[in-house]
Amino acid sequence: MKLDSKTSILDLKKKLYKFSKKRNWQSNYYPSHLSKSISIEAGELLECFQWQDAKKSELLSKDSKQKEKIAMEAVDVLYYLFMLFYVLEIDISESVERKLEELHIRYPENKKSD
């Protein structure tokens, strides 16, 4: 399965920023606003799973209509995350690599997580 192989992270960031710029949304993109928006949108994503236990939520995400709704809510979160990285000029790939290095040290493969 080749998911996410069409577009690079940089291309997505640029595409989303260009979309925002054409609507003059980026004029309000301050790190504090974007961080709040991430939290708000994450809450909307959580609503997709409200009152669902783990097993039901897994089944829910297999329904194509619900899966689309989940995807769109998750993209809202991703949108604001990408805009935050864009505005702050943070390299997403580099940040992920650094975080993984930190996690490898904190949680070695032979150590169980708490």
- Tens of pLDDT, residue by residue over 4-18, are 778 888 898 889 999
User: Please, what sign has the CA dihedral across residues 78, 81, 87, 93?
Assistant: negative
Phi and psi at 49, nearest 5°, equal -115, 5
64-91 as b/e: b if 16+ CB within 10 A = eeeeebbeebeebbebbbbbbbbeeeee
- Domains of the chain, residue spans: 30-106
- Is domain 30-106 annotated with CATH 1.10.287.1080? yes
The amino acid occupying position 92 is I
Using an 8 Å Cβ cutoff, are 74 and 45 in contact? yes
Q: pLDDT tens, 86-113?
A: 999 999 999 999 999 999 999 998 856 5
Would you state the pLDDT for residue 62? 78
Would you state the pLDDT for residue 111? 58
Q: pLDDT tens, 21-57?
A: 999 998 889 999 999 999 999 999 999 988 888 888 8
**How remote is the C-alpha of 40 from its chain's centroid?**
13
